[in-house]
Chain A
């Protein structure tokens, strides 16, 4: 084998991070003279939590290894969940298919070709009953990645719990429910921003009163980064989204300390090791300051930013896919050194299809090796005090407050979204990054350097279309056997409630109990709320 020498681009290359931010050759004490070690860095478990939210770090509690999964029918996923629970997993993380994520039933014409493909298909309470059949919802925690129809799916979850006889106050889990990043990055929406924010706020208010252990939103930067933002933009837009949610809940009459401890965050872990670590450390410091100083929160739990991390899907390559195991390990290590509460590691076949079982196992093993073999869990925030990391952390913080100022001046995040501001910022960054790759300034091993002739193809998970047929039959028999008058009544009350300022959650519960379908419920709200159209950006 001939090794190719590192060539050309090195000369011309500027020394920049993955986000194209320049970095110096060396950092010394002179670089951090403006950073007050007590005020800004402090100790883990203490304000402003730069060094972590727990004094004991991972000694007290390891991060949760929470791998996101789901495919096919509710029957398929139920089997998979039971297998995982039997093998010691205590938390579930549900991936839904695209029709469900967009609020369409499996038999809607636009669902063709998409049913069960990137997650499980759920069209009614009947499917949800199958999904959690034999799984005691009082004993597991469930994370559900869903946004525009989040409150409908959550109502189905609560209705299953109710049928199991579970006590609502003991149900625990997380709903992604982060609609703002949909307008900014992932683009799964139904209604306009303000109407959608009302649905999100209804969930927060309802849970604060009735389901106190539920994490009401997972405020997500992951998708913002995947759409091409820089690390700083990911951080700034995500935290500014968080501010928007807090504002709306406070305006709805809640005391900030009553709900803020149940907000959680979700960040990306991209390639640039130190930049990512600085991002997580800055996130905690900024949130602590925002919650205390901007919102007057008094409960320390309201100041603490808890977050989930997923390694960067967009960094993985279809070329030489085994290299992705190494990329994922480095990214996961950044998440851990940044103090993440939970972690999903991507599989090596991410750029090709949904993971095979073998690829998913290697991804999980990567986390176990970090946790058990590397020794990094022994010491809290081992990079704290590094001239370089502290400088970067403080620069991230400053950049973030600059973005907050701009967004505040646009009337907050909804105003900014309506102006297309975060969308345009992300688009520009994505384009500049692509150009840097094509000019060879940024090297992607196996793509624009060290390119190999194509290797043997990987085995790929293939999902057939039988799920769509099964779902269509189930929906047909559901619509024939349910009490249609009760369905119509519940949908009419939902519309009336949505027109007034009544909390929609109890009304959604009535709809799902009557077996109104996801599509019918989302459709009922369209004439009330309108539909969102993205303007050209």
Chain B
């Protein structure tokens, strides 16, 4: 299946409703030729993993601006491992102190994008890092 489009799930975990960034990124990735599914607000790590499984995505992009990223991101990674979905690329963007970045990377988050990142940079990172799927 040559030329399969990269499928991305853009997700907002936690209680925070600031969805400006998530929606801009979703639209920009679509403009960059990816297939994007946006979960809507207030998803649990469980519901995000379920959606990722059902939609067979290559990448999950999380948006967190509330300060709860250190609880939400590691839990999501754990659930992905349990479901044997560790090949899914996970990136996160939002208000994230630099000091937390090493711990997020240790937990398996591939990319952390801080305020001011261009959407082109995010699109490039995803297309460079999504593992190529076996044919069929």
Q: Are chains A and B native binding partners rather than an unrelated pairing?
A: yes
Residues of B within 8 A of A319 (CB): 116
> CA A114 – CA B66 in complex, angstroms?
7
Residues of B within 8 A of A446 (CB): 116
Asked whether any CB of chain B lies closer than 8 Å to the CB of A351, the reply is yes
Asked whether any CB of chain B lies closer than 8 Å to the CB of A226, the reply is yes
> CA A114 – CA B44 in complex, angstroms?
13
CB-CB contacts of B17-35 with A at 8 A, as 1s and 0s? Answer: 1111001100110000000
State whether A114 and B67 are in contact (beta carbons under 8 Å apart), knowing that A98-B15, A318-B116 are contacts in the complex.
yes
- The smallest beta-carbon distance between A191 and chain B, in angstroms, is 15
Q: Within residues 116 to 133 of chain B, which ones have a CB less than 8 A from any CB in chain A?
A: 116, 118-120
B72–A431 CB distance below 8 A: no
Residues of B within 8 A of A352 (CB): 95, 97
Residue on B nearest A353 in the bound complex, by CB: B97
Asked whether any CB of chain A lies closer than 8 Å to the CB of B16, the reply is yes
Residue on A nearest B44 in the bound complex, by CB: A110
- The smallest beta-carbon distance between B26 and chain A, in angstroms, is 10
Asked whether any CB of chain B lies closer than 8 Å to the CB of A536, the reply is yes
Asked whether any CB of chain A lies closer than 8 Å to the CB of B68, the reply is yes
- The smallest beta-carbon distance between B30 and chain A, in angstroms, is 11
> CA A536 – CA B38 in complex, angstroms?
9
State whether A431 and B24 are in contact (beta carbons under 8 Å apart), knowing that A99-B15, A448-B118 are contacts in the complex.
yes
State whether A118 and B28 are in contact (beta carbons under 8 Å apart), knowing that A188-B17, A430-B20, A438-B120 are contacts in the complex.
no
Asked whether any CB of chain B lies closer than 8 Å to the CB of A169, the reply is no
> CA A111 – CA B67 in complex, angstroms?
12
Q: Within residues 88 to 132 of chain B, which ones have a CB less than 8 A from any CB in chain A?
A: 95, 97-99, 114-116, 118-120
Contact of A438 among B14, B27, B118 (CB under 8 A): B118
A98–B118 CB distance below 8 A: no
> CA A318 – CA B116 in complex, angstroms?
7
The interface centre, meaning the residue of A99, A101, A188 with most chain B CB atoms within 10 A of its CB, is A188
Q: Within residues 436 to 475 of chain A, which ones have a CB less than 8 A from any CB in chain B?
A: 437-438, 444, 446-448, 457, 460, 462-463
B14–A114 CB distance below 8 A: yes
Residues of A within 8 A of B17 (CB): 182, 186-188
Residues of B within 8 A of A317 (CB): 115-116
> CA A102 – CA B120 in complex, angstroms?
34
Residues of A within 8 A of B44 (CB): 110
B114–A460 CB distance below 8 A: no
A460–B67 CB distance below 8 A: no
Interface of A, helix, strand, loop or mixed by DSSP: loop
Residues of B within 8 A of A182 (CB): 17
State whether A98 and B66 are in contact (beta carbons under 8 Å apart), knowing that A187-B41, A430-B23 are contacts in the complex.
yes
Residues of A within 8 A of B40 (CB): 534, 536
> CA A437 – CA B115 in complex, angstroms?
13
Asked whether any CB of chain A lies closer than 8 Å to the CB of B50, the reply is no
State whether A351 and B95 are in contact (beta carbons under 8 Å apart), knowing that A113-B71, A438-B118 are contacts in the complex.
yes
Range of interface residues on A (Cβ < 8 Å): 35 or more
CB-CB contacts of A258-286 with B at 8 A, as 1s and 0s? Answer: 00000000000000000000000000000
- The smallest beta-carbon distance between A114 and chain B, in angstroms, is 5
Asked whether any CB of chain B lies closer than 8 Å to the CB of A90, the reply is no
Asked whether any CB of chain B lies closer than 8 Å to the CB of A51, the reply is no
Residue on A nearest B67 in the bound complex, by CB: A117
Asked whether any CB of chain A lies closer than 8 Å to the CB of B70, the reply is yes
Contact of B116 among A113, A444, A536 (CB under 8 A): A444
Residues of A within 8 A of B19 (CB): 187, 227
- The smallest beta-carbon distance between B122 and chain A, in angstroms, is 11
Asked whether any CB of chain B lies closer than 8 Å to the CB of A519, the reply is no
> CA A351 – CA B115 in complex, angstroms?
7
> CA A263 – CA B40 in complex, angstroms?
32
Contact of A318 among B41, B42, B115, B118 (CB under 8 A): B115
> CA A111 – CA B14 in complex, angstroms?
8
State whether A460 and B99 are in contact (beta carbons under 8 Å apart), knowing that A317-B115, A534-B41 are contacts in the complex.
yes
> CA A228 – CA B42 in complex, angstroms?
20
CB-CB contacts of A91-135 with B at 8 A, as 1s and 0s? Answer: 000000011011010000011111001100000000000000000
> CA A318 – CA B115 in complex, angstroms?
6
Residue on B nearest A112 in the bound complex, by CB: B71
Residues of B within 8 A of A430 (CB): 20, 23-24
Asked whether any CB of chain B lies closer than 8 Å to the CB of A378, the reply is no
Residues of B within 8 A of A117 (CB): 66-68
- The smallest beta-carbon distance between A102 and chain B, in angstroms, is 5
A227–B20 CB distance below 8 A: yes
Residues of B within 8 A of A534 (CB): 40-41
29 contacts between A and B (CB under 8 A): A98-B68, A101-B15, A110-B42, A111-B15, A113-B14, A113-B68, A114-B16, A114-B66, A118-B66, A118-B67, A187-B41, A188-B17, A226-B20, A227-B20, A228-B20, A317-B115, A318-B115, A318-B116, A319-B116, A351-B114, A351-B115, A353-B97, A437-B118, A438-B119, A438-B120, A447-B116, A448-B118, A457-B98, A462-B97
Q: A186-B17, A353-B95, A463-B67 are in contact. List 9 more A-B contacts (CB 8 A).
A: A110-B44, A112-B71, A113-B67, A114-B16, A114-B66, A117-B66, A182-B17, A227-B20, A536-B38
